Structure 1
Amino acid sequence: MTARSQRVALVTGAGSGICAEVARGLAGRNMRLVLLDKDPEAVHRVADELGDRLACDPLVVDVTDARALESALTSLPDDCRPEVLVNGVGGDTRGRPLTELTEADLQTAVAHNLGSVFNATRLCAPAMITAGWGRIVNLASVAGRTYTRFSNAAYVAAKAGVIGFTKQCAFELAPHGITVNAVAHGVIGTERIRGAWQDKPAQWTADRVSHIPAGRFGTVAEAAGIVCHLCDEDSGYTTGTVIDVNGGLHI
């Protein structure tokens, strides 16, 4: 343990879904939390729930705005600088064929899913290097491991980039006591995913679920659990990995 009595963890996208559950799990592991989300109402709701587990007030920032993100993170006081980083922003539920995508779609997917991970990691890594300890977990996707029936090629490209970035960072940061891993989730039953699917025909949903060997969506708790483990003290010899949480969708 460092000179601090508790680790500090920064969780991006902490206002809802998997990352809100990750924040709860890390709080339960005696970490102090820095919550970041672009939705002020959502992130303050989670902050109110966690109460005295917070290291500082929530950061209301759009992570695709690199300057705003840098300003927010560099302004953190020394005792709130994270030794744990969970890059959780991302996603794209638009199932569109390649021929309907534009260059703007690719740019948006990269900014949202990869650029945010790149910028948060490069900004947080120096303090971890100084501390000689760190945990970084990037939320990738089964889409970045193979292909997708649920989204589109721009999203697949961005998430594949997250996996490549994870491996390079793991190589560079391992000598400093910092682990960097990715979790590639399959279909998780978050409110966002269920909302995107609720207007689809029943057969459309049944067809997609039928391709999941487990025969169901994953739960938010199942999605968050492995992320929290990779943030913990006893995961120090696991780095550069991509852990699949997908009910057998990709084996």
Structure 2
Amino acid sequence: MEFAGKVVIVTGAGMGIGKGIALAFAREGAKVTVADMDLDSARETVKEIKAGGGEAIAVLVNVANSAEVKAMVDETVKCWVTVDILVNNAGIGTSAMVEDMTEEDWRRVIDVNLTGVFLCSKAVLPLMKARKYGKIVNISSTGGKRISYNGGANYTASKEGVIGFTRHLAYETAPYGINVNCICPGATITPLIQRIATPETLEERTRIIPKGRLCNPEDPAKAVLFLASDKAEMICGVALEVDGGSLLGWMDNESYEKKRKKKGASGDDS
């Protein structure tokens, strides 16, 4: 198993992408701290991990609260001595337009999505620097490379901030044997999305993805495990897109297919 004996913290691991990441690490032998604001959902993830023969603990945490972040790291060290890998996945979003957005809306998203990444990373750095080993993988979004499709300006700003923070921290920590990278998942099928999105919305999103489908939680999980592995030893500060090609352009597949057919009929390469 690739991560046998490694100690991993995954924030926001009670459901969705975070849960997929936690389960994937556990299958590869890692000891996983499943951290979430919803302790019941974290416990459900732990239950699944243990049912598969893995090791995990559930920890309640608000990543925007430095005291709770410290307690999360302390609990992990108490159980397993150190932290080898941190995955900053916890995130929230709102969809209000700027003129309708309250200051509280703005701060809440920035605090969780960006300040939370800062606080969690800062909390594990002494452990990683002391051992000259560590992997930090942050979860940004395709919304961090363009405007967010569903989220508001606060979400877009927070996810662009994660990319910038990742690059800067990677530069600071590379001399200490620490790799810091991030991934930018596209639209991903999670229980939340399945609950709130209409079939028409899902179809609309799928049309702009060249691969022809939305991501499953397992897709970003595979990218995270790669960046957290020794195979990625010389990869620092990247923002890896895991989006089925959605950032390649805004034209939907149906429209582009019409263009292909027109080109074939006319011989026009434009």
User: Do both proteins adopt the same fold according to a TM-score greater than 0.5, normalized to the shorter chain?
Assistant: yes
Residues 1:21 and 2:20 aligned together = yes
Alpha-carbon contact 1:95-1:149 (below 8 Å) kept: no
What per-residue deviation string (whole Å, max 9, x for no partner) do you get for residues 99-128 of structure 1?
A: 222222211111110111110000011101
**Structure 1 residue 205: deviation in Å?**
4.4
CA pair 14-80 structure 1, distance change in 2 beyond 3 A: farther
Mapped to 1, the partners of 2:234 and 2:141 lie a distance apart of 23
* Residue in structure 2 matched with residue 53 of structure 1 by the alignment: 54
2:92 corresponds to: 91
Partner residue in 1 for 2:40: 41
* TM-fit CA distance, 1:37: 1.1
1:83, 1:133 within 8 Å by CA — same for their partners in 2?
yes
Greater C-alpha Rg: 2
Does the C-alpha gap of structure 1 residues 80 and 39 become closer, same or farther in structure 2, counting only changes over 3 Å? farther
TM-score normalised over the length of structure 2: 0.84
Contact 2:184 2:240 in 1 (8 A): yes
Q: Counterpart of 1:230?
A: 227
Question: 1-side partners of 2:205 and 2:32: how far apart?
Answer: 36
Distance in 1 between the 2:30 and 2:128 partners? 15
Structure 1 residue 171: deviation in Å?
A: 0.3
Instruction: Name 1:162's counterpart in structure 2.
Output: 162
| SS of the residue 1:250 aligns to | helix
- 1:248 aligned partner: 245
Unpaired runs of 5+ residues, structure 1, are none
Query: Contact conserved, 2:135 with 2:178, CA < 8 A, in 1?
Result: yes
CA offsets 1:47-80 (integer angstroms, 9 cap, x no match): 122225325x321122222222223323532734
Distance of aligned partners of 1:50 and 1:205 in 2 relative to their CA distance in 1, 3 Å threshold: closer
TM norm structure 1: 0.90
In structure 1, distance between residues paired with 2:66 and 2:142: 26
Does the aligned pair in 1 maintain the 2:148–2:155 contact within 8 Å? Answer: no
Residues 164-187 of structure 1 show CA distances to partners (whole Å, capped at 9, x for unaligned) of: 110011001101111000100110
Q: 1:234 to 1:204 in 2, by over 3 A?
A: closer
Query: How many residue pairs are counted as aligned between the two chains?
Result: 243
Given the superposition, is the C-alpha separation of residues 151 and 175 from structure 1 closer, same or farther in structure 2, using an over 3 Å criterion? same
Return 5+ residue gaps in structure 2 as ranges: 249-270
RMSD (Å) for aligned C-alpha atoms:
2.0
Q: After the TM superposition, which parts of structure 1 deviate over 3 Å for at least 4 consecutive aligned residues?
A: 202-209
Residue of structure 1 equivalent to 2:145: 145
Native 8 Å contact 1:149 1:208 kept in 2: no
